[in-house]
Amino acid sequence: MKLIRIFTILFMFTASGLLAQDIADHALGLRLGDSDGFGAEISYQKSIARYNRVEANLGWRDSRNFDAFKLTGVYQWVHQLDGNFNWYYGVGGGLGSVDFDPGFTDEDGGLFVFGAGDIGIEYNFDIPLLLSLDFRPEIGLIGYDGFSDNFDFDIALGVRYQF
């Protein structure tokens, strides 16, 4: 009976690997959204293995009250849901800088470093277009006090060209 369970589990892992689709070698585009209002990031994805990739994002925020940029890197594991739908999760981090306008807050802003997780879904069209919706929670590690004490929820829509 134990042998049948082992073969069943082994078969399930092998079958799921056979059904998975490959991810694109490169994808370049935009990641739009943010927890603090609208923001944009230039996003680049590079496959590392058949089902793993690295994503790098350079984002900026500009408003009446502050100017900011953020550089994020995330290592992701990609799994097929159904057909062209995939889901993924990952871990990473980044750094950024924020500059507040005088009179908006008593904080000076400055450089900050954060850790990040990532989970999302994506649809891989038959043309070289990839749409994704992801959730990237971020926690401040070091830096200016306003960010290092915070836990940030970053939700965004990604539109990328695959090549």
Give me the CATH number covering residue 28: 2.40.160.20
- pLDDT at position 33: 85
Backbone φ and ψ of 148, nearest 5°? -65, -20
Q: What is the mean pLDDT of each run of 10 residues along the chain (163 residues)?
A: 52 45 88 75 95 95 79 97 95 90 71 94 95 94 69 89 95
The continuous run of DSSP H or E covering 9 comes out as: helix 2-19
* 3-state SS class at 84: coil
Give the pLDDT of residue 20. Answer: 46
Q: How many domains does the chain have?
A: 1
| Separation between Cα atoms, residue 96 and residue 116, nearest integer Å | 13
3-state secondary structure of 127: coil
Q: Would you state the structure tokens that stand for residue 100, as one six-digit string? A: 């507040």
Cα gap 56→54, rounded to integer Å: 7
- Residue 88: give the domain boundaries: 2-162
Instruction: List the beta bridge partners of residue 74.
Output: 55, 92
Q: Which two tokens stand for residue 10?
A: 């082994």
Q: How does DSSP classify residue 23?
A: P
pLDDT value of position 151: 76
| Model pLDDT, residue 18 | 40
What pLDDT is recorded for position 140? Answer: 87
Pairing between β-strand 85-100 and β-strand 66-82 as defined by DSSP bridges: antiparallel
CA dist 45 and 33 (Å) reads: 18
Q: How far apart are CA 56 and CA 44, in angstroms?
A: 5
Which pLDDT value is given to residue 106?
A: 60
- Say whether 77 sits in a helix, a strand or coil: strand
Structure tokens at 38: 């609208």
* Cβ 125 vs Cβ 131: under 8 Å: yes
The model's pTM is 0.79
Per-residue confidence (pLDDT) for residue 4, from 0 to 100: 54
Residue 144 has a pLDDT of 67
pLDDT at 36: 60
Strand partners, 71: 58, 95
